[in-house]
Amino acid sequence: MTRILYDLAGAGDRRFSPHCWKTKMALKHKGLDFETEPCTFTEIKDKVAFAGAERVPTLKDGESGIGDSWAIAEYLEEAYPEAPSLFGSPDGKAFARFANEFADTAMLPPIANAIVYDIHEWTVEADRAYFKSSREEMMRRSFEELRPDRDDFVGRFRAAMVPVRRIVGRQPFLTGDRPHYADYCIFGMLQFARVTSDCELLRANDPVLAWRGRILDLYGGYAAAEPAVAA
Ligand SMILES: N[C@@H](CCC(=O)N[C@@H](CS)C(=O)NCC(=O)O)C(=O)O
């Protein structure tokens, strides 16, 4: 049986979706084999319609089709109870839920505002007009209007990261000595920026960068293999 993850793909096959990274790390954590099916923005709807989904990540696992990264994490945990747990415990699941919301609501908006025009450069030609108009509508500002405010968004992002910084400065992973899904939720956002932009979201001595390095090294350097724009 081939397990297929429908994954956002850009120019040069760059894989930059923050939510797809959450899911790819979850599959690796579970030790489940999978292939990725690259989808450009304009291909997504047709390719994932089989699952009743409209976005990626979408997973095809045998007869099952599941959309949404959180729903996929819950599915994997239920379908593969013998594999290493994504959450560690029921309390761990509640914390992962918090981390997922934190990633999506406190991290993603300032990151996206700071780098959206860099991501545009990584979209394939056929996606460019759609990406620009949809993202400018989402952010209610044009790319040109956003550019001068990059430092402001970076400052907001760094301030939002205080609780994460304080935790990973004291222990190897957010969830303790070993990583779990909560770590991957936060990591997905940083990987999104790492592979699309040279924007210095975090200072070189930030403990969050060292933690990111530990996640990049997991599973034989799976996430590190996706090329970074800056060192
Ligand atoms: N809450 C969803 C969000 C998924 C999402 O927004 N995916 C983006 C790619 S990062 C997408 O498919 N966008 C399609 C589009 O903008 O047309 C999840 O966690 O999976």
- Does residue 199 sit in the same domain as residue 140? yes
- What separation, in Å, do the N-terminal and C-terminal C-alpha atoms of the chain show? 38
Per-residue pLDDT of the chain (231 residues; tens, 9 = 90+): 689 999 999 999 999 999 999 999 999 999 999 999 999 999 999 999 999 999 999 999 999 999 999 999 999 999 999 999 999 998 999 999 999 999 999 999 999 999 999 999 999 999 999 999 999 999 999 999 999 999 999 999 999 999 999 999 999 999 999 999 999 999 999 999 999 999 999 999 999 999 999 999 999 999 999 999 986
Judge if the beta carbon of residue 56 lies within 6 A of ligand 1.
yes
3-state helix, strand, coil in the chain (%, to 5): 60, 10, 30
Structural tokens at position 226: 């996706």
What is the extent of the structural domain holding 167?
90-221
Judge if the beta carbon of residue 132 lies within 6 A of ligand 1.
no
Which pLDDT tens digit goes with each residue over 43-70?
A: 999 999 999 999 999 999 999 999 999 9
CA of 55 to the centre of ligand 1 (A): 5
Which pLDDT tens digit goes with each residue over 67-94?
A: 999 999 999 999 999 999 999 998 999 9
- Does residue 95 sit in the same domain as residue 180? yes
Please report which helix (H) or strand (E) contains residue 52, including its range: none
Give the CATH number for residue 144.
1.20.1050.10
Domain end call among 79, 104, 128 = 79
Cα 183 from Cα 191, distance rounded (Å): 12
Judge if the beta carbon of residue 69 lies within 6 A of ligand 1.
yes
Domain end call among 79, 104, 137 = 79
CA of 184 to the centre of ligand 1 (A): 16
pTM higher than 0.95, yes or no? yes
Number of domains in the chain: 2
Could you give the residue ranges of the DSSP H alpha helices within 103-168?
Answer: 108-122, 128-139, 143-146, 150-160, 162-168
Domain end call among 49, 79, 109 = 79
In a domain, 227, yes or no: no
Q: Is the bond into 57 cis (omega within 30 degrees of 0)?
A: yes
Distances from the Cα of 49 to the Cα of 41, 44, 81, 160, 191, angstroms: 14, 8, 28, 36, 27
